[in-house]
Amino acid sequence: MIHKLQSIKAKDYEGNLVFLYGDECAERNLPLTRKEVELIKARRERDKNFVQPFDRLPNRIYIVSFDSERDASVCQEHLRRSAMQLLGMLETDRVDELAVSGDGTLPEEVAAFVEGLTLADYSFDRYRSKEVYHLQSLIIDSVYFTPDELEASQHLWNRIFWCREWVNMPVQDLNAAAFADELASIAADMADVSCTVMDKKQIESLRMGGLLAVNRGSVDEPRFVVLEYKGSDEAPICLVGKGVMYDTGGLNIKPEDYMQEMKSDMAGAATMASVLFAAADNDLPVHLVALLPMTDNRPGYNAYAADDILTMYDGTTVEVVNTDAEGRLILADAIAYAAANYKPQLIVDAATLTGAAVRAISTFGIAAMQTGADNPLTMMKLVGEQVYERLVEFPMWSEYDELIKSDVADLRNCGTTPQAGTITAGKFLAHFAGKVPYVHLDIAGVAYFSKPQHYYRVGASGYGIRMLYAFLQMQDMINE
């Protein structure tokens, strides 16, 4: 979709037009006949949230009605969600170009609608033989965006697009080596981003026992990718992303119902790479390091097994209880590496880590935990509410430490009981952050949807990128 700015007078516009109608101010500017206005007003008395088309042959006007008096974040989220309903109408009407206006509508409301329409228009098409409908051009009334604001938003949406594309790709075409090469190629074209790709021999030299163990069952070698963007001289924020390119569960193989969609188990790595690239695209004044351990988890060759004892990068020994708890093993090495080598002000990880997170909060948000990072997580929760990528904080009480103690090693990679699985995973990872402030984001419920949800079609969502980007936008104020 191409976004363009243009001065638009809704009542005089000749072309397909969507008009955002949220209050009486906008009502006075509706590009409709008196009878049509009365119809819209009567419908709003029953429900303020709807999309209503009107013929203006050969074009159409689409009225997106919403309640501007609701809480701002809720109002803006409704506008994002209305985009999917509108997109279905646009496809039926075979609309290629659409203009957006809404005299009397706030700029942030227009921005939310445009964002929702852009996110809704994405679909994973590269393997389809038949052409799929997409809106080709979106013209936005220039009173709502400056060119620089639109460009910054486009950069963010583009990075979300590529995150979704990577997560949707099957492992046959995007294994650890291929993904690492793609990230290195992108970084090479960016003046302020450096990329280091470590192969198996280098990972062995680092003695990353978790990453190497998970990789033992695969014919494809692992990779450890480090991206750095130095937009400030502050100590870095380290972004760690789980990059399990495909997860069979290893020798604790998943049942059939849970094997589907496991190409998405690298969503954490795709998310963190995309956040760093978006920050660099828009010159955010932050120092970021993304650390991305990558491998698939297979039951072949000399696959690691339950009862194995691993020695991690920082020397911690880990008893393997379940080979399907592999994500925390590769993340642990990367977190320990970040803490030891970068002196970060904060470590944040993102991972499709536990089914327990989905059972706890379903597909409506991110399960979050922290140690020594109360203020950063509070800020993430605040901006998460604003962009509607919400976080629920789980406790990290000391009692949970007992559940990951091992009789034969320093830790075990699963809790001793099936309860509190999301928390024990977070507790395990926090050990490797040491004294560095640490936030854990379990995105298992939101990274990939098996059915359409709001402005996301089936597949990868990129959920969490907008929240983390908004959090990074606040860093210059926090550090002043």
**Is 41 marked active-site?**
no
| Closest C-alpha to 15, from 135, 102, 97 | 97
The two three-digit tokens of residue 295, written as one number: 């491998």
CA–CA dist 186, 284 (Å, integer): 18
CA–CA dist 239, 467 (Å, integer): 13
The two three-digit tokens of residue 102, written as one number: 């809404």
Selected catalytic residue, list 328, 390, 427, 466: 328
Instruction: For residue 413, give the DSSP letter.
Output: S
**Is 254 marked active-site?**
yes
**Is 101 in contact with 20 (CB distance < 8 Å)?**
yes
228 phi, psi to nearest 5 deg: -135, 130
Taking phi over 0 as left and psi of -120 to 50 as alpha, with beta for the rest, 268 belongs to alpha
**Is 476 in contact with 467 (CB distance < 8 Å)?**
no
**Cα 11 to chain centroid, rounded:** 38
Long-range CB contacts (within 8 A, 24+) of 122-128? 122/161, 122/164, 122/457, 123/457, 123/459, 124/164, 124/165, 124/168, 124/459, 124/460, 126/165, 126/169
| Closest C-alpha to 375, from 287, 477, 274, 446 | 477
Selected catalytic residue, list 43, 56, 230, 254: 254
Catalytic center residues:
254, 328
